[in-house]
């Protein structure tokens, strides 16, 4: 699948901010024909990034997640930077669990050159990435393989995760509510993510800024249950306040300062 054009990315960003975009307004904004805008909107809707309405498109929300390939396209550079920053927090010669998600895959990419990492995952893509590492081990969970994204879920997966107690967990999520609730779409996936958090000495949540604007129906955990939030922008103040009160460190990828309890490191 081809990456989004700069104009399509701008259209998607505008839709995310205001909820709705219209053909005529976008045509004037970008100084292109309405036909060109309709083509852009149709492609964004085919990727399930927007939903078509008469005269334009809306930004989707609700109980369904984006298609896996589309999620990879969303905030791709931000996820790459988040992956690098999160991996920088993890030393050599430790055990780690990573759950399903396009951002956790970026963490895996950044960990490939580390020494002595034992990685446990229910994500086939993460296992494939880390098997190329020159040292360390990859352990993959058993269970039902979800065709849409290579995630492994189900009761057998939960039982498998319960066997371990690791140094670090890296989890992704689909949304973070302003009350600090960490959310996802598939209750089967969420059950595994909960066990990963329970069986780690330190938990790192990786989430791009779009996750502060989205909704999802199933609760994974609360921000107070994690140790570090790695993101690409300073989070909204209600979330930042929750992190300060719970002593959750905020790391902003691409920024030299680290927010801990409201002070730069």
Residues of each domain in the chain carrying CATH 1.10.10.10: 6-60
171 phi and psi angles, rounded to 5 deg? -125, 145
What span, in angstroms and rounded, lies between the C-alpha atoms of 126 and 132? Answer: 10
pLDDT at 70 over 80: no
Give the Cα-Cα-Cα angle 126, 258, 172 (nearest 5 degrees). 25
> pTM to 2 decimals?
0.74
**Residue 223 DSSP label:** G
3-state helix, strand, coil in the chain (%, to 5): 40, 25, 35
Q: What confidence score (pLDDT) does residue 159 get?
A: 96
25 phi and psi angles, rounded to 5 deg? -65, -40
Q: What confidence score (pLDDT) does residue 258 get?
A: 43
> What number is the average pLDDT over the span 154-164?
96
Q: Which CATH architecture has domain 6-60?
A: Orthogonal Bundle (1.10)
Reported as type and span, the H/E element at residue 241 is helix 237-246
Beta-strand pair 228-231/200-206: parallel
CATH number of the 71-259 domain: 3.40.50.1360
> How does residue 263 score in pLDDT terms, banded at 50, 70 and 90?
very low
């Amino acid at each position: 699948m081809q990456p989004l054009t700069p104009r399509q990315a701008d259209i998607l960003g505008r839709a995310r901010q205001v909820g709705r975009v219209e053909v005529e307004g976008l045509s004037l904004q970008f100084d292109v024909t309405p036909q060109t805008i309709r083509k852009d909107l149709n492609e964004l809707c085919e990727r399930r990034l927007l939903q078509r309405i008469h005269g334009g498109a809306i930004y989707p929300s609700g109980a369904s997640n984006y298609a896996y390939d589309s999620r990879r396209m969303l905030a791709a550079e931000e996820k790459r930077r988040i992956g690098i920053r999160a991996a920088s927090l993890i030393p050599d010669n430790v055990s780690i669990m990573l759950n399903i998600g396009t951002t956790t895959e970026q963490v895996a990419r950044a960990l490939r050159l580390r020494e002595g990492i034992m990685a446990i995952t229910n994500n086939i893509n993460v296992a494939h990435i880390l098997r190329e590492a020159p040292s360390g081990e990859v352990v993959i969970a058993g269970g039902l393989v979800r065709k849409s994204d290579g995630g492994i879920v189900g009761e057998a997966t939960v039982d498998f995760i319960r066997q371990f107690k690791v140094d670090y967990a890296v989890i992704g999520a689909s949304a973070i509510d302003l009350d600090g609730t960490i959310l996802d779409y598939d209750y089967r996936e969420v059950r595994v993510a909960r066990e990963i958090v329970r069986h780690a000495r330190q938990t790192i949540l990786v989430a791009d800024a779009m996750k502060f604007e989205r909704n999802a129906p199933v609760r994974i955990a609360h921000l107070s249950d994690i140790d570090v939030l790695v993101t690409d922008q300073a989070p909204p103040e209600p979330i930042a306040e929750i992190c300060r009160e719970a002593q959750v460190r905020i790391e902003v990828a691409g920024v030299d300062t680290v927010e801990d309890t409201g002070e730069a490191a």
